[in-house]
Amino acid sequence: MNASLQYLAAETTAVSDTSRAVTIVLFSLVVAATLYITVWASRRTHSATDFHSGGRGFNATQNGFAIAGDYMSAASFLGIAGMIALFGYDGFLYSIGFLVAWLVALLLVAELLRNSGRYTMGDVLSYRMQQRPVRTAAAVSTVTVSIFYLLAQMVGAGALISLLMGIQPGETYLGMSGETAKIVGIVVVGMLMTIYVSFGGMKGTTWVQIVKAVMLMTGAALLVLLTLSIYGFNFGALMSDAAEASGQGAAFLEPGLRYGVEVAGDPVQTLWNKLDLISLGMALVLGTAGLPHILIRFYTVPDSVTARKSVNWAIALIGTFYLFTLVLGFGAAAIVGHEAITAQDPAGNAAAPQLAQAVGAHFGGEVVGAVLLALIASVAFATILSTVAGLVIASSSSLAHDFYNSVLRRGKATDVEEVRVAKIAAGGIGLVAVVLAVFAQGLNVAFLVALAFAIAASANLPTILLSLFWKRFNTRGALSGIYGGLISAVGLVFFSPVVSGAETSLITGADFSWFPIANPALFSVPIGLVCAIVGTLTSKEQDFSKFAQIQVRALSGAGAEKAADH
């Protein structure tokens, strides 16, 4: 069975014109539906609370789907499925970090943040501190994390759209070469995300994320069912087929092919590789609850109990989804095969769409394969759109609320002014992201996602937790914590093989690397924490009354921001 399926996959790997036509129709439907949502939401967005927090009127299920939609980027859908397809177990290891991280958000952050903040992460960080410096730091950190994450998504989007359209090098489709299609993809995604955020605000963005999460879960579930049914719902048989087809044998089902690789005869490098794996695990687990676009989702519900329930929904959805990717990855390894996957995309990003095509062809011939491929491609497209929109609203809200209103206008700006600035900021961020992504499209920027998690883990999470739980914490501590974590995470990556000194580096032809591992969190999280503690203790400032207030508010929900009543 395995051999005939692989033969089938090889035959249908090239994207047919049927599939492209269906893909374009489905892409257009996704765009039309999301724009309709945006227009609908824009009519219902009046106040700053509507714009930044969607009026705080979403229920737990809606926000749970929106969180899942915001979090499960194209990188985690196509990237993890591809990683499992190529490296087996290690792709699964990655997704476990992404899931366990939600316990930090659930137990330590979601409810307390909802109760004590208003629109942004900066609200909680600055509550006890001198407003202007801390809010500036919060805005710097928010925008840095969001832009890095955004850039990785946008560059990926360009490549992905050209991949999903199946344009081979040297070939053109609708007059576009693969390179032109990438740029068109980046510009279209940039324009759409700016429109969603500027017009739809948080309401529009949230609904786009909900629709995407439903599409993603349905599409993935369908593909999982079809894949498993080929194996008579025997997952063990699928795994052995995958291990055999991968050419790695049993090693495919064990850790070590991608992370913590053991280099024969080089114990030092082996140790660094293993520390890199631990560092990555740390960034994933501690970073999630410090990502600004995730944090602001907790403000879109009426109260902290709903925030808790929405995190539970998110955990259920995200956990189920990562179990799906395990089937999809092993399925692609077994049915599509290593060679066909790397031929389409060396990083394996096309594995899930390729699996859709092969499975569809198995059940209903080439046309069904083409339709299923187009379906999964449009799910991936919706995935890109909703994640980038979440990142844009996080950074434009922070620029407008933390920087413009609180720092520049000292809190005197009206709602109307603040929302106007947020919309302009969304346009500015969209433009910057498009220009950077077009220039960076030839570069290997996948590391930016891990870097965004590392900054969130080193700069944001420690300061949020210390603000909520440490009585002595003060302005200098918060500033040292944020800037110390941010600078050490970015700095260590700058001097790592990611940027220079290796074949896959960002800059080739120069070598100024001395930090041996790609993921900085193992060092930058302790550095950020120590900076926050030392900064606090070297400053005399302490405001016990403010500490008492944030704790009473955060724990009990007294005086918390209410839902807007329209």
- What interhelical angle do 2-12 and 235-246 show, nearest 10? 60
21 belongs to the binding site for other proteins (CB under 8 A): no
In this chain, which stretch among 4-12, 152-160, 311-319, 344-352 interacts with other proteins, using CB under 8 A?
311-319
CB contact at 8 A, 213 and 450 = no
Site residues for other proteins, 447-466, by CB under 8 A, read none
250 belongs to the binding site for other proteins (CB under 8 A): yes
∠196-186-350 over CA atoms, to 5°? 105
Beta carbon of residue 489, minimum distance to other proteins (angstroms, whole number):
19
Going by C-alpha positions, the residue among 298, 283, 296, 292 that lies closest to residue 146 is 292
With CB under 8 A as the contact rule, the residue among 121, 186, 189, 277 that binds other proteins is: 277
With CB under 8 A as the contact rule, the residue among 14, 39, 107, 435 that binds other proteins is: 107
With CB under 8 A as the contact rule, the residue among 127, 324, 381, 403 that binds other proteins is: 127
Q: Find tokens 């955060």 and name the residue.
A: 554
Site string for other proteins, 375-414 (x = CB under 8 A): --------------------------x---xx---xxxx-
In this chain, which stretch among 310-318, 368-376, 447-455, 487-495 interacts with other proteins, using CB under 8 A?
310-318
Beta carbon of residue 274, minimum distance to other proteins (angstroms, whole number):
4
In this chain, which stretch among 115-123, 385-393, 447-455, 456-464 interacts with other proteins, using CB under 8 A?
115-123
* Maximal CA-CA distance, the chain: 74
- Structure token pair of residue 105: 């958000």
CB contact at 8 A, 417 and 247 = no
Beta carbon of residue 81, minimum distance to other proteins (angstroms, whole number):
16
Beta bridge partners of 172: 177
In this chain, which stretch among 118-126, 203-211, 452-460, 493-501 interacts with other proteins, using CB under 8 A?
118-126
With CB under 8 A as the contact rule, the residue among 20, 114, 135, 423 that binds other proteins is: 135
With CB under 8 A as the contact rule, the residue among 258, 309, 420, 472 that binds other proteins is: 309
CB contact at 8 A, 138 and 119 = no
Number of residues that bind other proteins (CB under 8 A): 77
Beta bridge partners of 173: 176
Shorter beta-carbon distance to other proteins: residue 409 or 534: 409
Site residues for other proteins, 42-101, by CB under 8 A, read 46-49, 89, 92-93, 96-97, 99-100
347 belongs to the binding site for other proteins (CB under 8 A): no
Shorter beta-carbon distance to other proteins: residue 346 or 559: 559
Shorter beta-carbon distance to other proteins: residue 228 or 432: 228
With CB under 8 A as the contact rule, the residue among 220, 311, 385, 498 that binds other proteins is: 311
Beta carbon of residue 215, minimum distance to other proteins (angstroms, whole number):
23
Please state, in angstroms and rounded to a whole number, the distance separating the CA atoms of residues 403 and 198.
Answer: 18
Please state, in angstroms and rounded to a whole number, the distance separating the CA atoms of residues 352 and 328.
Answer: 6
Site residues for other proteins, 142-181, by CB under 8 A, read none
- Map 122-186 to HEC letters: HHHHHCCCCHHHHHHHHHHHHHHHHHHHHHHHHHHHHHHHHHHCCCCCCCEECCEEHHHHHHHHH
Site string for other proteins, 502-531 (x = CB under 8 A): ------------------------------
The DSSP secondary structure of 55-115, one letter per residue, reads: GG---HHHHHHHHHHHHS-HIIIIIHHHHHHHHTHHHHHHHHHHHHHHHHIIIIIHHHHHH
Beta carbon of residue 189, minimum distance to other proteins (angstroms, whole number):
32
Please state, in angstroms and rounded to a whole number, the distance separating the CA atoms of residues 156 and 444.
Answer: 10
